[in-house]
Amino acid sequence: MKTFLLNIILCFVCSVTFAQWTQLPGPGGGRVYSLASIGSNLFAGTEGAGVFQSIDNGLSWTPINNGLGHHTIQAMAVSGNSLYAGTPIGLFRTDNNGSTWIAMNLGVSGASIKSLAASGSTIFAGSYAHGVFLSLNNGASWSSVNTGLTHDKVNALAIIGSNVFAGTQGGGVYLSTNNGTSWATVNVGIPDTTIYAFGVLGTNLFIGTYRGGVCLTTDFGTTWSSRNNGIGNGVINSFATKGTKIFGGHNTGNVFVSDDNGLNWLPKSVGVQNAYNHALNYSGTSLIAGTKNGVFISEDDGDTWTIRNHGLSNTYVKDIEVQGSTLFVATFGDGVLKSTDQGNSWTTCNAGLPTMDFHTLTIDGANIYAGSFDDGIFYSNDGGNSWSGLNNGISNGNIKTILVAGTILFAGGAGGVYKSSNSGASWTSMRTGLTNYHIIGLVELGSNIYAASDGGGIYVSSNSATSWSPVNNGISDLREYCLTVNGANLYAGSQNGKVYFSDNLGFSWTNIGFATTGVGQVRDIMFKDSTMLATTHSLVYFSNNNGLDWDSIDGTGMDVNNLYCTTISGNNLFAGTSQKGAFVNSSILLSLNKLDWDNSQITLFPNPVSKGDVFFTLSSNVDFVGATICIYNTLGQVMHTETISGISKKVISLKDVLPGVYFVTVVENGRSNTRKLVAN
């Protein structure tokens, strides 16, 4: 209990526990590293969000991570009714379709499992730095089997009869004919010794290499021949087979198919540029691709594809904005998506976009502007149905903020500030006076434009960005992550958990943020009526008195440690996260301005407590009803706690308290107040 309260009380923060978060079934997507199937159950292993299960051929997905010690799934394999999942910290198994997972004892702590292969009750696990592990009893016990295996980074495993193949990082292919007791290299004819994937077609074995394309052996590795006609440059990361056909997942997003043992390959696009195929699987009549953009399924051997990401909440949501009642999100990896039903379902809005990686969205009436990681600015005036580039004059396409100021557009990013006076048809660099070109936020206040930078603090321009001047008086942390205007006031959030406030056009700033470290970056600041909300990497905080006191919105239901953004739509508070998609809190906004006592309602007397005094009085202008009083020292240790009810005044003894600074917190039915008490 003391550890928990140290994090929230010392910074004048109490958690509001009656309003919880719900993970939305999207926006779906994100990297899918591995695929598997048991009967009609499909499984997708993701980067950061664990394992998802579908029982309806991918129409919907549900996370199944109970007991799973790490949520990046690098490999999966099936043995009977058991599903194995390889993670960066070890190997896990489920025997009940993911209801529960148990850790496998490999004999090595923290082994990163990159590849798996199973035959009956025999399981091989390839690791990144510990070679190969073997179980002969469906995971009950394991042993290391590395004799002759001189390269210990094993990216791929395959079993053909009594032959076991290991594809390594830099060592090519190793073969064991005695169940892993010993290994020998079989690399004759292989042009590149970094192996990413194996594909088994009957007794033939295909490999996907880093720079050498695809190779085939028909004699269990004695010799290899290249099979690249039609594939071109790039890397085959995965294989799947059906009858005489073999499919290869390419890093461009294409799936290549060959029906002549690899002599010729034909591309089958999944319909998304640069989708990067990590995994392929054939289940029943469905060819399934796990990509950088989620799951795609084809029922006609790759001729046509359907995206199947509903519930696959594995996306990096970098920004959330509202147009009327429609939510739009900018993601890293999945482009732009929208929801017309408050996040219950999502559709992609990527027609005309050459990239799927975005930082920010700005909505101005019917106009939507999107800033990308590397490809500049894009514009839509039809609800995201189509996009056009607006990049004439943009020399650095890493755009993190876009401001509409009347008829003028401003854009900021890694190249400083750009300005357009013709609706984005052309841009001019506006960097005079900027000493830091990494611009995170842009706002307009009166006739001034303000720019927040990552390292240079805040800049102001009074001449439409023709020149800039720093305005950092009172700002100690010059790494700013957001900038907001509310009325005539400016607010900036910093790297080290500070919230800065200026009521004089930025000429001076006051830190009104959290009084302790560890809160993390303040990534978003916004207002709901008179309530200020500040989004950090792990929690959303709010203040009803301009930062004098802060409360955190309870994170229950949102098991994340990397919040990116928040927005308000109606009475819903939405949050975008890293690798967990989006969440909604549907009740907190109705109660925010009712939670705290005004400072005039809670008094401490005397304060400071002079030497010789052994009592102070805590009083209120209303009776307490089941209020909890806690006194903490500056280390967060509980010095005194009690519950009072039916009275408005309480005398508390300090006879065992040493001189120093203390914090007195009163919590009652969700509302709270924290006051500083000095004992001399």
Q: What is the mean pLDDT of residues 40-64?
A: 96
Average pLDDT score over the chain: 89
pLDDT range class, residue 636, cuts 50, 70, 90: low
Whole-number percent of the chain with pLDDT over 90 = 72
* From 79-88, 351-360, 371-380, 597-606, the region with the lowest mean pLDDT: 597-606
How far CA 462 is from CA of 100, 427, 509, in Å, comes to 60, 19, 18
What pLDDT score was predicted for residue 273? 65
Based on the domain organization, do 674 and 531 belong to the same domain? no
Q: What distance in Å separates the CA atoms of residue 44 and residue 281, rounded to the nearest whole number? A: 10
pLDDT range class, residue 611, cuts 50, 70, 90: low
Q: Name the nearest CA neighbour of 99 among 47, 41, 46.
A: 41
pTM equals 0.81
Copy the structure tokens of residue 301.
Answer: 């051997």
Q: Are 283 and 28 in contact (CB under 8 A)?
A: no
Residue 115 lies in a domain: yes
Residue 144 has pLDDT above 70, yes or no: yes
Identity at 573, one-letter amino acid code: L
Domain boundary residue among 307, 338, 365? 307
What pLDDT score was predicted for residue 601? 62
654 compared with 554, residue with greater pLDDT: 554
Q: What is the mean pLDDT of residues 524-543?
A: 90
Residue 178 lies in a domain: yes
The values of phi and psi at residue 593, to 5°, are -85, 10
Pair type for strands 510-511 and 13-16: unpaired
Q: What distance in Å separates the CA atoms of residue 532 and residue 514, rounded to the nearest whole number? A: 13
Domain boundary residue among 544, 577, 596? 596
| Span 221-245, pLDDT tens digits | 999 999 999 997 778 999 999 999 9
Q: Name the nearest CA neighbour of 132 among 104, 156, 160.
A: 156
Residue 2 has pLDDT above 80, yes or no: no
Q: How many structural domains compose the chain? A: 3
297 Cα distance to chain centroid: 24
Q: What distance in Å separates the CA atoms of residue 665 and residue 662, rounded to the nearest whole number? A: 10
Copy the structure tokens of residue 541.
Answer: 């905080």
Q: Name the nearest CA neighbour of 289 among 316, 260, 309.
A: 309
Q: What distance in Å separates the CA atoms of residue 329 and residue 359, rounded to the nearest whole number? A: 10
What pLDDT score was predicted for residue 23? 92
Residue 364 lies in a domain: no
Based on the domain organization, do 604 and 579 belong to the same domain? no
Residue 532 lies in a domain: yes
The structure tokens 């009074």 sit at: 462
Residue 312 lies in a domain: no
Q: What is the mean pLDDT of residues 48-77?
A: 96
Based on the domain organization, do 123 and 203 belong to the same domain? yes
| Span 440-459, pLDDT tens digits | 999 999 999 999 999 999 99
| Span 282-307, pLDDT tens digits | 999 999 999 999 999 999 999 999 99
pLDDT range class, residue 430, cuts 50, 70, 90: very high
Q: What distance in Å separates the CA atoms of residue 460 and residue 16, rounded to the nearest whole number? A: 37
Whole-number percent of the chain with pLDDT over 70 = 90
| Span 248-276, pLDDT tens digits | 999 888 899 999 999 999 999 877 666 78
What pLDDT score was predicted for residue 629? 82
Based on the domain organization, do 589 and 613 belong to the same domain? no
Q: What distance in Å separates the CA atoms of residue 209 and residue 393, rounded to the nearest whole number? A: 40
**Element containing residue 255 per DSSP (H, E):** strand 254-258
Q: What distance in Å separates the CA atoms of residue 434 and residue 430, rounded to the nearest whole number? A: 9
Q: Name the nearest CA neighbour of 75 among 26, 20, 123.
A: 123
* From 547-561, 597-611, 654-668, the region with the lowest mean pLDDT: 597-611
Q: What is the mean pLDDT of residues 319-341?
A: 96
Reduced to 3 states, what is the DSSP secondary structure of residue 540?
Answer: strand
pLDDT range class, residue 666, cuts 50, 70, 90: confident
Q: How many Cα atoms within 13 Å fall on the side-chain side of residue 55? A: 5
**Element containing residue 8 per DSSP (H, E):** helix 2-8
Q: What distance in Å separates the CA atoms of residue 256 and residue 597, rounded to the nearest whole number? A: 65
Residue 633 has pLDDT above 80, yes or no: no
Q: Are 341 and 333 in contact (CB under 8 A)?
A: no
Q: Which residues are within 8 A (CB) of 632 and not within 5 positions of it... i.e. 6 or more apart? A: 5, 9, 10, 638, 639, 662, 663, 665
601 compared with 22, residue with greater pLDDT: 22
Based on the domain organization, do 637 and 578 belong to the same domain? no
Q: What is the mean pLDDT of residues 394-405?
A: 98
What pLDDT score was predicted for residue 593? 52
What is the tally of helices (H) and strands (E) in the chain?
1, 64
Residue 453 lies in a domain: no
Q: Name the nearest CA neighbour of 547 among 567, 522, 564, 569.
A: 522
Based on the domain organization, do 518 and 609 belong to the same domain? no
Q: Which residues are within 8 A (CB) of 96 and not within 5 positions of it... i.e. 6 or more apart? A: none
645 compared with 614, residue with greater pLDDT: 645
> Which of 439-448, 636-645, 668-677 tops mean pLDDT?
439-448
* Domain containing residue 588: CATH number: 2.40.10
* Domain containing residue 102: CATH number: 2.130.10.10
Reduced to 3 states, what is the DSSP secondary structure of residue 3?
Answer: helix
The structure tokens 């009967």 sit at: 39
Residue 502 has pLDDT above 80, yes or no: yes
User: Cα Rg for the chain, rounded, in angstroms?
Assistant: 29
Q: Which residues are within 8 A (CB) of 365 and not within 5 positions of it... i.e. 6 or more apart? A: none
| Span 179-202, pLDDT tens digits | 999 999 999 999 999 999 999 999
The DSSP output letter for 74 is -
Based on the domain organization, do 165 and 240 belong to the same domain? yes
Pair type for strands 316-323 and 306-307: unpaired
Q: How many Cα atoms within 13 Å fall on the side-chain side of residue 207? A: 36
Q: What distance in Å separates the CA atoms of residue 583 and residue 574, rounded to the nearest whole number? A: 6
How far CA 5 is from CA of 71, 199, 221, 258, 677, in Å, comes to 28, 53, 61, 61, 17
The structure tokens 């009740």 sit at: 587
Residue 7 has pLDDT above 50, yes or no: no
Based on the domain organization, do 589 and 612 belong to the same domain? no
Based on the domain organization, do 91 and 237 belong to the same domain? yes
What pLDDT score was predicted for residue 604? 75
Residue 257 lies in a domain: yes
What pLDDT score was predicted for residue 656? 67
671 Cα distance to chain centroid: 31
How far CA 290 is from CA of 167, 275, 494, in Å, comes to 21, 9, 37
Pair type for strands 531-536 and 540-543: antiparallel
Residue 455 lies in a domain: no
Q: What distance in Å separates the CA atoms of residue 233 and residue 251, rounded to the nearest whole number? A: 10
Q: What is the mean pLDDT of residues 105-122?
A: 96
Report the alpha-carbon angle 324-330-331, nearest 5. 145
Q: Name the nearest CA neighbour of 545 among 621, 485, 599.
A: 599
Q: Are 358 and 335 in contact (CB under 8 A)?
A: yes
Which residues in 141-159 are b (16+ Cβ under 10 Å) and which e? Answer: ebebbbeebebbbbbbbbb
Based on the domain organization, do 52 and 188 belong to the same domain? yes
Residue 319 has pLDDT above 60, yes or no: yes
Q: Are 315 and 331 in contact (CB under 8 A)?
A: yes
pLDDT range class, residue 1, cuts 50, 70, 90: very low
* Domain containing residue 622: CATH number: 2.60.40.3080
Q: Which residues are within 8 A (CB) of 232 and not within 5 positions of it... i.e. 6 or more apart? A: none
Residue 595 has pLDDT above 70, yes or no: no
| Span 340-386, pLDDT tens digits | 999 999 999 999 999 999 999 999 999 999 999 999 999 999 999 99
Q: Which residues are within 8 A (CB) of 2 and not within 5 positions of it... i.e. 6 or more apart? A: 636, 637, 638
How far CA 515 is from CA of 189, 511, 518, in Å, comes to 64, 9, 10
Q: What distance in Å separates the CA atoms of residue 285 and residue 56, rounded to the nearest whole number? A: 13
Q: What distance in Å separates the CA atoms of residue 332 and residue 478, rounded to the nearest whole number? A: 26
| Span 455-491, pLDDT tens digits | 999 999 999 999 999 999 999 999 999 999 999 999 9
Q: What distance in Å separates the CA atoms of residue 127 and residue 115, rounded to the nearest whole number? A: 7
Based on the domain organization, do 518 and 666 belong to the same domain? no
Based on the domain organization, do 616 and 670 belong to the same domain? yes
What pLDDT score was predicted for residue 600? 57
Cβ count within 10 A of residue 422 = 12
Domain boundary residue among 282, 307, 332? 307
Q: What distance in Å separates the CA atoms of residue 46 and residue 68, rounded to the nearest whole number? A: 13
Q: Which residues are within 8 A (CB) of 646 and not within 5 positions of it... i.e. 6 or more apart? A: 623, 624, 625
Domain carrying residue 575: 514-596
